[in-house]
Amino acid sequence: MTVTLDRSALTRNVHLTFRANMGVGRHGWLRLTPAYGVRLVRERLGTLEPGSVVTDPFSGTGTTPLAAAELGHIGQSVDVNPFLIWLGTVKTAHYSNAVLLATADTARAVLSDARRYEQDNDLWQPNLFKIDKWWSSGALHALKALRRSIDDKSGQVRDLLEIALCRSLISCSNAAFNHQSMSFKDVSGESVLFDIDDAERTFERFESEVAMLIDSAQFDLLGSASVFEGDSRSGVERLKLADLVLTSPPYVNRMSYIRELRPYMYWLRYLDQASDAGDLDWRAIGGTWGTATSKLNSWVPETETPIDGPMAAVCELIRRDGGKNGPLLATYVHKYHHDMWQHFQAITPQVKVGGRVSYIIGNSTFYKHEVPAHEWYAEMLCALDYRDVTIQVIRKRNSNKALFEYEVSGRKV
């Protein structure tokens, strides 16, 4: 196993993160803060033969399958989240000129229809906790009217309009995304009265978002991509054998993707109750949102892993120094790597002999104790007889001098 750790030469390489995706055609359609950058993905795909099969078993927003299709490869990915499956499918679809023209025409009709609704109309709104914290009354009315007007549309036209709705509801919200995790702007003291100008600004935003989507969707993909529903620990058997597995799994840092995706998932009706979010987060590796936390308290491992020894030592330190949360977080670290071991076992038969795997992953710290996920990934790959297993530092992640992003790669023999 080769380890390359020239940390002193690194800065926070923003061009290798999700920020590099913004404005890059379809890659910028919807955001997810922890997503890795398209530039990094394209660099890794650049050495492949045309028509290669590229697998991402943690699809997320579809960066890998989309980049593969753009470069003439066959992209395929799986995810447990139905919203992300939909999003990846929409981003990697082929759109005819007829569909794009119909989208423009339908968007005009949707806007005309939405503007006719009065404030007191009985319009559906998502069951999002404290929804008035997210949007002003004017913006909320406009979003509800747009939602109603899109509801009777179908097919790819509806898909594109719903992407525009998602982009609009974020851009006009009080949510702030200038940190790793979503927070809210301070709107205390502001008027809560209905503002017709606020509603009109939301309609105008939707109109501009549709135009942007049409503009980027007209550039067709050289290859193809498919996004399937599946669990990366057990639901990858339907995938074609891969020349390259390229992915960025959830980091071992309790970052909840469900929490970040809530506004989209509620407005598109993938979520209705808070418990739905917790149940879905529990199914995902690394999820601890809502009810997933209580379920973690009673979790017990199903199998041993090749890293049980060093992992037990780190978990004991976390348990000792973490106060009342120590036992829960120690279990979280254990379950995360237990699940990743199940994933590595499941994905290995889906890699061609001579094919490569590449995992973009970050380490983490709990109570000043490092959880070296990159090293443990490498050990698990070695246990499965991968060759040329290497660890390379990609970038420094934030102001915490101990946190980095790594690429862990290997070749199947």
Q: Digits of tens for pLDDT over the chain (413 positions)?
A: 554 444 444 444 434 344 444 447 999 998 776 556 889 999 999 999 999 999 999 999 999 999 999 999 999 999 999 999 999 999 999 999 999 999 999 999 999 999 999 987 799 999 998 899 999 999 999 999 999 999 999 999 999 999 999 999 999 998 765 545 566 666 555 555 667 889 999 999 999 999 999 999 999 999 999 999 999 999 899 999 999 999 999 999 888 888 889 999 999 999 998 889 889 989 999 888 778 888 998 999 999 999 999 999 999 999 999 999 999 999 999 999 999 999 999 999 999 999 999 999 999 999 999 999 999 999 999 999 999 999 999 999 876 889 999 999 999 99
| Dist. CA 270–CA 125, nearest whole Å | 13
Task: Give the pLDDT score at 121.
Answer: 78
pTM: predicted TM-score of the whole model, two decimal places: 0.90
| Dist. CA 324–CA 366, nearest whole Å | 13
From residue 230, how far is each of 85, 114, 381 by CA, in Å? 9, 37, 22
| Dist. CA 223–CA 71, nearest whole Å | 7
Distance of CA 82 to the CA centre of its chain: 12
What are the backbone angles phi and psi of residue 216, rounded to the nearest 5°? -80, -30
| Dist. CA 389–CA 412, nearest whole Å | 10
pLDDT in tens, 63-112: 999 999 999 999 999 999 999 999 999 999 999 999 999 999 999 999 99
| Dist. CA 358–CA 348, nearest whole Å | 12
Among 410, 327, 318, 404, which residue's Cα sits nearest to residue 366?
Answer: 318
* Cα–Cα–Cα angle for 11, 411, 287, rounded to 5 degrees: 60
* Enclosing H/E stretch for 241: none
Please name the amino acid found at residue 352. K
Contacts of 176 (CB under 8 A, 6+ apart): 182, 183, 184, 185
